[in-house]
A and B are shown apart, each in its own frame.
Chain A
Amino acid sequence: MSVAPQERGKGAPQERGKRAPQERGKVVPQGRTLLPVVVHAPRGVGHLRGDESFPDAARGALADTQLRRNLGHATATIRDKRAKVVGEVDDWEALRTAGKAIKDHTMARLPELLTQLEANVTAAGGVVHWARDATEANQIVTRLVAETGSREVVKVKSMATQEIALNEALADAGIEAFETDLAELIVQLGDDKPSHILVPAIHKNRAEIRELFARTLPGVDPELTDDPAALAGAARQHLRERFLTAKVGISGANFAVADTGTLSVVESEGNGRMCLTLPETLITVMGIEKLVPTWQDLEVFLQLLPRSSTGERMNPYTSLWTGVHEGDGPQSFHLVLLDNGRTAVLADEAGRETLNCIRCSACLNVCPVYERAGGHAYGSVYPGPIGAILSPQLTGIEDNASLPYASTLCGACYEVCPVKIDIPSILVHLRAEHVEAQRETRRVPTAEAISMAAASWTMADASRWEKAQTASRAGRLLGRRRDKDAGRIRSLPGPLAAWTAARDAPRPPAETFRQWWARDRGADT
């Protein structure tokens, strides 16, 4: 399964770790290439690719009635909470505009701002590591943990470490990682996969969680009920020991402030605060796009994120830390900056704003496709509308080719996005990229490409189009013998059979509009 870095034409990370600082401070290091080479997240490592296409994976999820009920209930609840707290902010649209502007500006200056962040983190006593991809990031973190001599780590919920499959990499090195976020713990105990950015166990209801805890938590009260407070209490008891004994904490980051070198984690449960403050060593893995230029910029995002994400006015815990402080908190701090395909996203002008995402998951909660198919159908740790544009861009579109089509383009995601990412337009852009890539690589065009080209040729000329309309009226004959409802067709051949599996099709009328116009109004215009 796994592809060693050497096979991908790269040196061992240990060598790169010794490189001079000035060589490391670039997203695409100088000397590596003169041309903008697109480097995607490597295959064989991480959780960005599924085993089956979206339509195939969705089929199973759609048939799972318990899952449908859990998702329907949970997304409706968060959706309503968000709408309520967003509705009470008078300048919400201005905040969204500001959020977009700050992120656009950040992406335009990303290399420079990252170098500034590195300098400020280093000056405050932290150590910055640059990881080109998941393999490198996993190797760096594994080495750092091994150097502490510890065999276990406590983790703050983090999308970046899920993306690179860090827990699996640590396990391979004999290091046990304990997820401390409640939902992430549920996923880990169940040997499951996260299905939501904010609520990774959204696909489970509390009865299922009670059963899981009763089965897997050591020393759990056999009388444990499915009361949320009781479930949280059981998890808290289990986790408390870990917090007090762990020597190493691993986190992601919601934000990094370039001009101060400050990192930030925003959370609800307080588990993050403990992981960030109790261990001796703290390792933070952060996607290179999680940057804001200045401290003041946090003001905008700390208003946008909680309301969009959990539907709260303010999240209970906002942790901010800058380097290390003697006698207070971790005495060793490492920041791993992860590319893993992000530079490729940055290079695409039409897809770039995908990197503006602050992982609030509002788009998942309003997406009618996500609500029905669930997060696992997307095959990536980034599900829903944002996942449908982010995952294919990180991996290269051929590895997630069905995701840009996993949307009706209804636009509900764009409407709620706190940084105004035009997800429908990027979906359409990625579909075009996919079709163009197929055009270049396939010797024989797909049936769809042939029919689209034929339709284009036909429709490029009104007289050809009219002849085709006349021919299509042969469809009036379809199914007529079997169906007394003369206005409807119950069964169509070929790919259109997928339509008539659940929907009647209209029978073509005796006369098209243009024929009526010509007959009724005489001359053509």
Chain B
Amino acid sequence: MAGRPRVALLVTCLADTLFPDVGKASVAVLERLGCEVVFPAAQTCCGQAHINTGYQRDALPLVRGFVETFEGFDAVVAPSGSCVGSVRHQHAIVARRFGDEALAQRAEGLAARTYELSEYLVDVLGVTDVGASYPHTVTYHPTCHSLRMLGVGDKPLALLRAVHGLQLVELPAAEECCGFGGTFAVKNADTSTAMLADKMSAVLTTGAEVCAASDSSCLMHIGGGLSRLKTGVRTVHLAEILASTDDVPAGVA
């Protein structure tokens, strides 16, 4: 790649508001690998929660805002499989539902340059060893949208395996949904909780001290359950693990 790659960070509304360390960690990893990271301050939300709850009409201004904010960049990177999934598979559908073909085409063009963090690191930068150090036992939940909407495959695992000091333990039934599902967690709270119980039980059987994933929303769900039950297992975003070094360990930055 010629010159220094310039990356626009889509931090996601959730990480911006509740998990800023995930955004900071994404910046740290990308900069360590030589990228120029830009944070377009006009960004707010990709509209996924609106779209997946049926409010496509209300999502339309958010889709338009996303396109206008980011279309000047060659690459957009987000630390979220589901937000990238929404950009890639839903934005054009929303625009077309309300007859805005021009917006739909712009959205499709931008979607092709929007990457989930592990995709960008492995596919675009061609890196699996990002120079991280994280001396902990970790199990990884692959998250449904990363896995099935984006098809990131084992890219996150390849990144984790290259982390110095990290002991990766396989999560049983890893590909099964944790039960978050956005507003599903509230609308169908009982079923969501039943799914969460099984996911937590799988996490606990690994003996890992950390459950990692690439989506703050799923981690908020799994972590909320693990902490409620005082399991002593914490949830950490993949970006935070990749940002962690011997000099600046995760959680200290």
Contact = CB atoms under 8 A, between A and B. Distances in A.
B123 interface: no
A415 interface: yes
Nearest to A460: B61
B42 A407 contact: no
B58 A455 contact: yes
A493 interface: no
B62 A514 contact: no
Contact of A408 (B21, B90, B177, B228): B177
A85 to B, nearest CB: 19
A321 interface: no
Given A409-B144, A456-B61, A516-B20, A431 B52 contact: yes
Contact of B196 (A503, A508, A525): A503
A275 interface: no
A411 B145 contact: yes
B252 interface: no
B194 interface: yes
Q: B interface, by DSSP: helix, strand, loop or mixed?
A: helix
Interface in A392-411: 404-411
A411 B148 contact: yes
Contacts of A404: 54
A488 B227 contact: yes
Nearest to A498: B189
A189 to B, nearest CB: 30
Interface string B202-237: 000000000000000000110111011000000000
Contacts of B21: 509
Nearest to B199: A368
A511 interface: yes
Contacts of B221: 503
A55 B90 contact: no
Contacts of B220: 505-506
A42 to B, nearest CB: 26
Interface stretch (B8-16, B130-138, B240-248): B8-16
B40 A408 contact: no
A449 interface: yes
A90 interface: no
Contact of A452 (B11, B50, B193): B50
Nearest to B189: A498
Nearest to A495: B186
B74 interface: no
A435 B55 contact: yes
A408 B65 CA distance: 26
B4 interface: no
A55 B20 contact: no
Q: A interface, by DSSP: helix, strand, loop or mixed?
A: helix
B187 A502 contact: no
Question: Which of B11, B61, B227: most chain A Cβ within 10 A?
Answer: B227
Interface size bracket, A side? 35 or more
B168 interface: no
Contacts of B90: 428
A245 to B, nearest CB: 46
Contact of A412 (B13, B43, B177, B191): B177
A448 interface: yes
A517 to B, nearest CB: 5
A498 B38 CA distance: 37
Contacts of A431: 52-54
A405 B183 CA distance: 9
A496 B44 CA distance: 22
A452 B23 CA distance: 25
B18 A509 contact: yes
Contacts of B179: 368, 408
A512 interface: yes
A407 B49 CA distance: 14
Interface string A271-313: 0000000000000000000000000000000000000000000
B180 interface: yes
Interface in A451-509: 452-453, 455-456, 458-462, 465, 469, 472, 485, 488, 490, 495-496, 498-499, 501-506, 508-509
Nearest to A422: B89
A452 B55 contact: yes
Contact of A513 (B15, B55, B89): B15
B176 A456 contact: no
Given A432-B54, A455-B50, A459-B44, A506 B18 contact: yes
Closest 7 CB pairs of A and B: A408-B181, A503-B224, A431-B54, A435-B54, A456-B58, A411-B148, A410-B177
Interface of A: 54-55, 58-59, 62, 68, 368-369, 372-373, 404-412, 414-415, 425, 428, 431-436, 439, 448-449, 452-453, 455-456, 458-462, 465, 469, 472, 485, 488, 490, 495-496, 498-499, 501-506, 508-509, 511-514, 516-518, 521, 524-525
9 contacts: A55-B189, A428-B90, A432-B54, A502-B196, A505-B220, A505-B224, A508-B18, A516-B23, A517-B41
Interface of B: 11, 13, 15-21, 23-24, 38-45, 47, 49-59, 61-62, 65, 89-90, 93, 97, 144-145, 147-149, 175-177, 179-196, 220-221, 223-225, 227-228
